[in-house]
Amino acid sequence: MNRDAPILFFDSGVGGLSVVGAARALLPTAPFIYAADSAGFPYGTKTEAEIGARVPALLGRLVERYRPRLVVIACNTASTIALSAVRAALDVPVVGTVPAIKPAALASRTRVIGVLGTDATVRQPYVDRLSAEFAGDCVVIRYGSAELVMLAEAKLRGETVDVAAVKRAVAGLFEQADGERIDTVVLACTHFPLLAEELAAACPLGVSFVDGSAGIARRIAFLTEGQDFLPVAIPGVAVFTRVDEAVLALGPALEERGFAETVSL
C-alpha cells in the first residue's frame, strides 16, 4: 500500500465532515480526500432510483482519479440505498454509514427513541431491520427533515443559525404519538452533528443524541491497521461535482478541517 494513498470520504454535501473529525482523531496523519456531490445535493429528497444510479457511478470516477486505500460513504441516505451496489462495483474496501439505532436502544431509559434523518433515509427498509434487530423492545419514532440539512450547510458557510428554526425543523419528531417520551435521538444524517449545540437548545430538556461517527472511525482504523501512513499530516483536497458560490463560501470551514484545496470533479 502506497503511504500516499488517501482515505476517501463521500457525501452529497458537507455532512460527512462530522465523520472526518472522528476519523482524524484516530488517524492523525492519514491522507484524506473529501468528495461532495454538490451537483446532486441534497440526496434526502431524491428517489431511490436516482441515488442508486448516481452514487456508484460517481464513486467509480473518484476511485479512478484518487486511488484511495478505503472509501467511506459518509452519508446515511447513500449508504442505506446504494452501499451494496458500491461494494459490488469497486475493488477497494467500502465503509458505510447507517443510523446508530443499536447504541440508542442501549442508552434509552424510557424505551422510546427518535430517528432523525432525511426523508429518504427514514423510509428505508434498512431502518426497519435495524429497529427490529436492535430496538425490538423500543418504540422507534422516525422523522425526516430536509430543513436541518440546509441549516447545517448554512452554518458551515459561516451563517448564523436560528435555534427557533431548528426547533421548527424537529417539531414533527416530538409531536408524534409517544414523542414526548423520547429520551434518545439518533442523528441519522451526518449533517446533523454539525448542529449539535443548536439541537441541544432546540429539543426538550434531557434528550440525548447518538450518531455513528465514532463507530465509523473505529471501523476505518481497524481496516487500515498496520498500513503505512505519512509521518505527518498533509493538507487534504476537497472535491465537488459543482463549484459555485455556496461551495466557495465553505472554504474556511474546509480549511479548518484540513482541506486546503477545493477542486471540481
How far is the C-alpha of 265 from the C-alpha of 263, rounded, in Å? 7
How far is the C-alpha of 255 from the C-alpha of 175, rounded, in Å? 39
Active site residues: 75, 189
Strands (E), the chain: 7-11, 32-36, 70-73, 94-95, 112-117, 139-144, 184-188, 208-210, 236-240, 259-264
Question: Which amino acid is residue 150, in one-letter code?
Answer: M
How far is the C-alpha of 47 from the C-alpha of 219, rounded, in Å? 29
How far is the C-alpha of 159 from the C-alpha of 116, rounded, in Å? 23
Coil, helix or strand at residue 4: coil
Coil, helix or strand at residue 211: coil
